[in-house]
Amino acid sequence: MGSEAQKAKLEKQFLRKAEFMHAHEVVAWNGEFGPVYEDPKVAGREKAEKVNRQRYGLLGEQLAIYDKYGISWSIWLYKDIGLQGMVYVDPGSRYLRTIEPFLDKKRVAQLDAWGTYPSKKVEDVLKPFVVSFTSILLELIGLLTEYRS
């Protein structure tokens, strides 16, 4: 998957991040990584399959790079409830049917930062906060710049 240019960029990004490891001849381990999979219930089956194929392809490219440079790794989840794991609980299982209303509420409120879905309701709540916070930060940066001058 992906063009040769994309694969080269991925490797270049890895090498930039691994500079310290190479310079000091130390062992590296990459933990806490992996794709977030598209949910067919939310995105639709066709879109989810297409996106997930691309994500599996990217994961394969990452693992090939780690293999090439002898990087040990641990993907973040082996088994979960359909968002990040390599295997997941049967969507029709009693367990998932039991917790589904809670998962739906989490999705609507965007409580999982790594698996958010666009929501006008959440956007309407957060946008004024982000605009205000950004304004305050820019003002502080301006004051710091004046102070340092």
Residues 76, 78: Cα–Cα separation, whole Å: 7
In a domain, 85, yes or no: no
Task: Tell me which amino acid residue 101 is.
Answer: P
In a domain, 84, yes or no: no
Sign of CA dihedral 62, 63, 69, 75: positive
Q: Which of 41-50, 84-93, 121-130 has the lowest mean pLDDT?
A: 84-93
Would you put residue 33 in left (φ > 0), alpha (ψ -120 to 50) or beta? beta
Q: How many CA atoms lie within 13 A of 26 on its CB side?
A: 8
Position with higher pLDDT, 115 vs 48: 48
Residues 36, 9: Cα–Cα separation, whole Å: 21
In a domain, 16, yes or no: yes
Burial 7-16 (b: 16+ CB within 10 A, else e): eeebbeebee
Best CA proximity match to 73, nearest among 84, 59, 55, 87: 59
pTM, two decimals, is 0.64
pLDDT at 13: 94
In a domain, 67, yes or no: yes
Position with higher pLDDT, 56 vs 147: 56
In a domain, 13, yes or no: yes
Structure confidence by residue, pLDDT tens digits, 91-142: 889 998 999 899 888 888 877 766 666 778 888 988 999 999 999 999 999 8
In a domain, 14, yes or no: yes
In a domain, 43, yes or no: yes
Which residues form the domain of 8?
1-76
Residues 84, 3: Cα–Cα separation, whole Å: 25
In a domain, 118, yes or no: no
Report the number of distinct structural domains present in the chain: 1
Most confident of 41-50, 63-72, 98-107, 109-118: 63-72
Residues 64, 66: Cα–Cα separation, whole Å: 5
